[in-house]
Amino acid sequence: MQYVVANQLVTSGVLTFTDDRIEQIIDGTIDIMHQFRLLMRSIKRKSERAFPYVAVPEFSKTGRRHIHFMLPAEFPYDMVEEKWHRNGHALRKIIADTGELSRVGFYLGKHFDKPESERPTKRRVIKAEGFKPKSEPARVMTYSEIEQLANQYAQEKGTTVKEIRSSKPWLQGGFEWLA
């Protein structure tokens, strides 16, 4: 999330694969992340400049492989569509506000705790080299601050707050406010 915000990656995209390409991925003829790296290298060469990006491969609910990724706002997305067309579709959405950007950033990381056997690739995320976010001091919120924030979001969304518990070490509990 910090990488996405620090590099102003507000173009959210999804790269899909055609049925033929899915068959090639399954039989090992092509590799998902190799195809993505080829795309980024080709675009970098054509645009003659380096650019930040982040990509996360995953399975859809039906088991189809695809790649979520984020690019800068001013990025010429038509190059992505042009270069990706033989693999599948290149869909995009410009993220309008920081609240939505936070949701998209967290969506990218939603499966980071999945074991390697349940992911389409070994690597969880691919980032452009040389675009590191500035380090920011971490601040731990108190339970009452978290509860207040959850109530604020719930009020904005017209929902109620529900306390949640988790056995996952990175999520010791919290609040849910989405409908």
Mean pLDDT value across the chain: 78
* Confidence category of residue 106, pLDDT binned at 50, 70, 90: confident
Indicate if the pLDDT at residue 84 is higher than 90. yes
pLDDT (mean) for 153-176: 69
pLDDT at residue number 136: 57
Listed in order, the ranges of the chain carrying CATH 3.30.70 are 2-127
Percent of the chain with pLDDT over 90: 9
C-beta contacts of 163-169 below 8 A and 24+ residues apart? 168/113
Greater confidence (31 vs 179) lies with 31
pLDDT at residue number 166: 65
pLDDT digits (tens, 9 = 90+) for 31-62: 888 898 899 888 888 887 888 888 888 877 78
Q: Are 121 and 133 in contact (CB under 8 A)?
A: no
pLDDT (mean) for 141-155: 78
Indicate if the pLDDT at residue 83 is higher than 50. yes
Greater confidence (161 vs 124) lies with 161
**Residue among 12, 6, 9, 3 nearest 94 (CA):** 12
Q: Are 87 and 18 in contact (CB under 8 A)?
A: yes
2-127: which CATH number, 3.40.30, 3.30.70, 3.30.2010, 1.10.3470? 3.30.70
Indicate if the pLDDT at residue 165 is higher than 70. no
Pairwise CA distance, residues 171 & 30, whole Å: 36
Indicate if the pLDDT at residue 179 is higher than 50. no
pLDDT digits (tens, 9 = 90+) for 72-82: 888 888 889 99
